[in-house]
Amino acid sequence: MPTSASPHVGPSRLHQPPPAPSTSGDSESTVPQPPTEKELDIGILKELAKSALVESLNDIQGAKTLILEPALGGPLGLVTEVALLKHQAVDKMFWLEPGPLNVNTRNVVWLCRPKIEYMRTIADQIKAQQSNPSPAGPLMHTILLVPRATELCRRVLEDQGVAGDVTISEFKLELIPVEDDLLSLEMDDVARDIYLNGDDTPIYYSSLALMTFQRAFGLFPRILGKGEGAKKLADLLQRHHHTDPAQYGDIESSTQVDGLIILDRSIDWITPMLTQLTYEGMLDEFVGIKNAHIEIDSTLIDPNTAPTPSPSTSALPSTPITKKRKHHLSSQKDKLYSELRDQNFAVVGSKLSKLARRLEGDYGGVKNLKSVSQMKEFVGKLGGLQSEQQSLRIHTGLTELLMPITKLETFNRTLEAQQNLVAGYDPNSQLNTIEDLMNQELDWQTILRSIVLMSLTNGGIKPKLLESFKRDFLQVYGYEHLPLLISLENLGLLVKSGSSVSTIQNQSVNFLRKNLRLIVDDINDLNPNDISYVYSGYGPISLRLVQCLTMKNQILSSSTSTTNGEDANGLGAGKEKPKAHPLNGWKGFEDVLSVLPGDNVDVRQHGEKRDNGLGKYIRMIPDDNKITTTVVFFLGGCTYTEISALRWMSKQYKGRRFLIATTGIINGNNLIESLGDNPPVQLKPST
């Protein structure tokens, strides 16, 4: 019997006295329990959002029909169970889409982001409704705008002539706790808005959300950052603090958070262009994760729903239609996932099979049960086992989905080209590879990511070559991508060599390669000794900057593995982790900053001093067990790999934990797609 696979449930265990009532905890004991240090509880933000929604809805008297922007369904689901809205007298729910309404409640409530197109749809619906009044009497119309009501929307409604018939209100849905170390505004296409269109609305919303965060947890004692957008955001934060004393005047300096680091996506376009190689990153790249949910075959979640082809009823050879179901990827609900998500995909398979063997052992254990009390104990464990089994099934299924992709020749050639490009190795032959892949009509997103990567790492592309690439690209994938190519050029992502932009980029990359250790050769996938494990050898620029501020030695030490390679994965039991140093300024890294675009941010904020001055001194008394949280805010979105890398960083030192906050979670594909237009419509045959 393979019971010995796990020392925790071996036969010897059964001879011990039965444990305390909570037997189900037993199966989870293999997960290393993190030391119970007091950490920032960001759940309160969820409660805030939830109660704000409940309040907004309760303000509207009577039964309501709720019409929800489809893109808000996901984020909303992360703060409240949509079913619970029934308690707020929500009678029916529909998606917001053009077309007439079918309402039989007194109230109609639209919940959407303040976008012009939605206002027009709503105006049409109100007008249609008014020309055809319902028998129940006049309807009350309310629009709840997320995260705030805007004058723009009011104006659009006015222009449509319905402003008087509708109450505009707001629902402050800001930073949503996706995981206990991850906050997201869950906004789409932020990078496009800010960097391409010059529309700083997301920066403004981010500033409001971070103000709310500070209301909850105290003023960031220090704000650090890099990039034009980061500067704007930092300025706004101070501006709010200074100019709105009624709201923010009495915030005290935070004792739990030592600072905010704002990373502007525009300082690091390279990272999202690379293919993510962590489990979660791969899932996002190749299956797609939306609002922490993934669409998978329902059979993976519950094998009993498997469509059983029943030959008796249908004569046709039945092609089983597998239904897709949304599955919430959550570390709270799924311990296995929390172990796997941040791993390099290369080691996921072996982890899964290890667990499979252990589960087999646990189930196998049933044969060895001798006494009733042993039986009881085992049965108590079953619940845990079953949920583990289910998550094992799901992740095995997902891994089986990803595995063939990693075996594809095109995948591996893309990866090789990417890694050679960031390493600066023989760019011309990488261009050939990209063209080869294009000839094979690999998806256009991947091709563009690769060519952008080439342009970014190589100081642009020779004009002739670039032009011929573009010509080929448009021929292969369609001329509708022409504006996209121009957009990439405007952003400096796809430029001719020799231009001023490209020259600067070239110097910058060469400098960073040398001084920020972008390329790391000896990485250990299983027990990573550096953040570069998330890209199998490339350490994201964004996080190297965070390391400059928080893990100085990791950057400065030229050798990679010596510092703390052995116990680096956080599992190294018993061994004391080094203590985190206080949050640095940029001092010592001025040269690094100087090669990156945009302003440097380094501001100290001082909160309301209401106490007698003692507080300041109390705070200075070092407390060895105190954990401080550093918030890293990604303006323009971050990738799952960056999240994983920060989690890894959280585990390296005693006393500092990173809280990741972002405008949204992106990957190279959706980033590139957002920069282009909508795909063309189907042509109709002309008459």
Partner 1 sequence: MSITSPTATWDTIQDVFYRKEEIYTMSWNVPDLSEYIISVGKNGGPIAMIRDDRLPLPSSRHSGKPKIHIYTSSGILISSIPWELNTPALMHFTITSLVVLSDQGIYRIYDLSNITNYKQYSLGDEIRDSGVVDARAYEDGMVVLTREGEFVEVKGWKGGRGVPMISSAPNEPPTSWTLLSPDISPTGHIQLLLSTQSTILTLDTLEKIDQRINRGPFSHISISPNGRFLALLNPTNGKLWVVSSDFSRNLSEVDVTPFGDGLPERVEWCGDNAITLGYRNGKVVLVGPKGESLFWEYPPSAYILGEIDGLRIISSGTCEFVQKVPDCTLAVFSPGSSHPAAILYDALDHFERKSPKADESIRSIRPDLANAVDTCVEAAGREIEVTWQRRLLKAAQFGRAFMDLYNPSDFVTMAQTLKVLNAVRYYEIGVPITYEQFIATSPATLILHLVSRNLHLLALRISQHLGLRPDPVLSHWASAKIIRSSQKGVDPSDRGLGDDESVCRAIVEKFEKEGEKGVSYAEIARKAWENGRARLATMAKLLDHEPRAAEQVPLLLQMKEEKIALEKAVDSGDTDLVYQVLLHLRSTLSPGDFFHILDDSITPKLKPAVNLLQVYARQADRDLLRDFYYQDDRRTENGCLEMEEAGQQEYAEERLEHLKRAAKSFGESKERLFESKMADDAHRLLTLQQTYERELEHKFSFSGLSVNQFIYKLILEGFNKRAERVRADWKVPDKRFWWIKLKALAERKDWEGLEAFAKSKKSPIGYEPFVTHLLSLTPPQPTHAASFVSRCEPRQRADLYVLCGDWGKAAESAKERNDRGKLDELKRKAPNGIAQREVDEVIRRVGK
Beta carbon of residue 527, minimum distance to partner 1 (angstroms, whole number) = 31
Which of 4, 29, 51, 61 is close enough to bind partner 1 by CB under 8 A?
Answer: 61
135 lies in the binding site for partner 1 (CB under 8 A)? no
- Residue 292 corresponds to which tokens in the numbers above? 């922490």
- Residue 55 corresponds to which tokens in the numbers above? 């309040």
Choose the binding region for partner 1 from 23-31, 242-250, 362-370, 625-633 (rule: CB under 8 A).
242-250
> Please, which residue, 66 or 665, has the CB nearer to partner 1?
66
> Please, which residue, 244 or 295, has the CB nearer to partner 1?
244
Which of 17, 135, 198, 613 is close enough to bind partner 1 by CB under 8 A?
Answer: 198
Choose the binding region for partner 1 from 30-38, 291-299, 392-400, 437-445 (rule: CB under 8 A).
437-445
Contacts of 80 (CB under 8 A, 6+ apart): 49, 50, 53
629-665 as b/e: b if 16+ CB within 10 A = bbbbbbbbbbbbbbbbbbbbbbbbbbbbbbbbbbbbb
How many whole angstroms separate alpha carbon 407 and alpha carbon 410?
9
Beta carbon of residue 114, minimum distance to partner 1 (angstroms, whole number) = 8
Contacts of 125 (CB under 8 A, 6+ apart): 99, 100, 101
Choose the binding region for partner 1 from 44-52, 326-334, 467-475, 502-510 (rule: CB under 8 A).
467-475
Residue carrying the six token digits 């050679």: 420
Asked if residues 149 and 169 have their Cβ atoms less than 8 Å apart, the reply is yes
80 three-class SS: coil
Which of 66, 112, 156, 190 is close enough to bind partner 1 by CB under 8 A?
Answer: 156
Which of 29, 243, 318, 429 is close enough to bind partner 1 by CB under 8 A?
Answer: 243
Choose the binding region for partner 1 from 26-34, 321-329, 470-478, 560-568 (rule: CB under 8 A).
470-478
136 lies in the binding site for partner 1 (CB under 8 A)? no
Which of 244, 416, 443, 522 is close enough to bind partner 1 by CB under 8 A?
Answer: 244
678 lies in the binding site for partner 1 (CB under 8 A)? yes
334 three-class SS: coil
> Please, which residue, 39 or 200, has the CB nearer to partner 1?
200
554 alpha-carbon distance from chain centroid: 25
Strands 166-170 and 140-145: parallel
677 lies in the binding site for partner 1 (CB under 8 A)? yes
The size of the interface with partner 1 (CB under 8 A), counted in residues, is 63
The helix (run of H) or strand (run of E) holding residue 204 is: helix 201-217
Using CB under 8 A as the binding rule, the residues of this chain from 394 to 413 that contact partner 1 are: 409
Asked if residues 385 and 27 have their Cβ atoms less than 8 Å apart, the reply is yes
Beta carbon of residue 255, minimum distance to partner 1 (angstroms, whole number) = 22
297 three-class SS: strand
The CA distances from residue 324 to 114, 190, 333, 513, in Å, are: 31, 28, 20, 43
Asked if residues 419 and 453 have their Cβ atoms less than 8 Å apart, the reply is no
116 lies in the binding site for partner 1 (CB under 8 A)? yes
Beta carbon of residue 477, minimum distance to partner 1 (angstroms, whole number) = 6
- Residue 18 corresponds to which tokens in the numbers above? 């039965």
440 lies in the binding site for partner 1 (CB under 8 A)? yes
How many whole angstroms separate alpha carbon 606 and alpha carbon 617?
15
> Please, which residue, 380 or 460, has the CB nearer to partner 1?
460
39 lies in the binding site for partner 1 (CB under 8 A)? no
- Residue 630 corresponds to which tokens in the numbers above? 């550093």
> Please, which residue, 265 or 481, has the CB nearer to partner 1?
481
199 lies in the binding site for partner 1 (CB under 8 A)? yes
472 lies in the binding site for partner 1 (CB under 8 A)? yes
> Please, which residue, 167 or 515, has the CB nearer to partner 1?
167
681 lies in the binding site for partner 1 (CB under 8 A)? yes
- Residue 115 corresponds to which tokens in the numbers above? 């976008």
∠ Cα 580 585 588 (to 5°): 100
Choose the binding region for partner 1 from 177-185, 209-217, 232-240, 416-424 (rule: CB under 8 A).
232-240
How many whole angstroms separate alpha carbon 669 and alpha carbon 284?
10
81 lies in the binding site for partner 1 (CB under 8 A)? no
Q: What is the DSSP string of 489-549?
A: HHTTSS-BTTSHHHHHHHHHHHHHHHHTT-B-S---SSS-SSGGGGGTSB--HHHHHHHHH
Which of 370, 376, 471, 616 is close enough to bind partner 1 by CB under 8 A?
Answer: 471
Which of 80, 134, 169, 201 is close enough to bind partner 1 by CB under 8 A?
Answer: 201
Beta carbon of residue 532, minimum distance to partner 1 (angstroms, whole number) = 32
The contact mask relative to partner 1 for 247-276 (x = CB under 8 A, - = no) is --x---------------------------
152 lies in the binding site for partner 1 (CB under 8 A)? yes
**SS3 sequence, 96-152?**
CCCCCCCCCCCEEEEEECCCHHHHHHHHHHHHHHHHCCCCCCCCEEEEEECCCCCHH
319 lies in the binding site for partner 1 (CB under 8 A)? no
123 lies in the binding site for partner 1 (CB under 8 A)? no
Which of 48, 178, 185, 236 is close enough to bind partner 1 by CB under 8 A?
Answer: 236
Asked if residues 197 and 86 have their Cβ atoms less than 8 Å apart, the reply is no
Residues that bind partner 1 (CB under 8 A): 58, 61-62, 106, 115-117, 148, 150-152, 155-156, 193, 197-201, 203-204, 207, 232, 235-236, 239, 242-246, 249, 409, 436, 438-441, 467, 470-472, 474-480, 482-483, 486-487, 677-686
